[in-house]
Amino acid sequence: MAFFKQNMNQFAQAAILGQVDLIPTPDVVSAQVNPSSALTSLQQGDAVKLITGTSGAILVDKQTGPTDAAVFGVIPYNERKNLFVKGDIVEVVRAGYMYMLSSAAVVRGTRVAITASTTSADPTVATDSTSGHFTVGIAIDEASAANQLIRVLVSPLTNP
């Protein structure tokens, strides 16, 4: 699967993976990616988790999926840099509306969990109601199939 790209010859701006939408009250904080992380890819749209360690900043690492650890937030789109390495300072959306890529059909109003990015694919979200799974938020839009950008209300939670 190829990375989602913006068509540079379009007449109107289209949605971008990780773009924050409905901006009045987003909760965005800065955090440091774990300098000792084993991650191979980290980009916009990826979820992060809090970790222990010594740093003057909030310390996070890549959240790899619904069974990994509680989601702290999601990395939003940034005009300057969207691929990150260990030790980088990143923005993290804790609450707000963000465009995310679907991995299958998604019904509006359902909780969604993330599948982390790889070196060859963007992160995706899918409906997840499994007890004990960590989700990133609630789908605000419908997706009829995979690879569609939908708005997600980022609100990390564990399914009951």
Dump pLDDT digits (tens) for 32-73. Answer: 999 999 999 999 999 999 999 887 889 999 999 999 999 999
| Segments forming the whole domain that contains residue 134 | 22-158
Q: Is residue 96 part of a domain?
A: yes
What is the pTM for the complete model shown? 0.83
Confidence of residue 150 (pLDDT cuts 50, 70, 90): very high
Q: Is residue 79 part of a domain?
A: yes
Q: Is residue 14 part of a domain?
A: no
CATH number of the domain enclosing 27? 2.40.300
Q: Please state, in angstroms and rounded to a whole number, the distance separating the CA atoms of residues 71 and 63.
A: 7
Q: Is residue 17 part of a domain?
A: no
Mean pLDDT over 71-86 rounds to 92
For the chain, the C-alpha Rg in angstroms (whole number) is 15
Q: Please state, in angstroms and rounded to a whole number, the distance separating the CA atoms of residues 115 and 109.
A: 19
Q: Is residue 150 part of a domain?
A: yes
Q: Is residue 67 part of a domain?
A: yes
Q: Is residue 13 part of a domain?
A: no
Instruction: List, as one string, the DSSP characters of 22-38.
Output: STTS-EEEEEEE-TT--
Q: Is residue 2 part of a domain?
A: no
**Total structural domains in the chain?**
1
First to last CA, the chain: 33
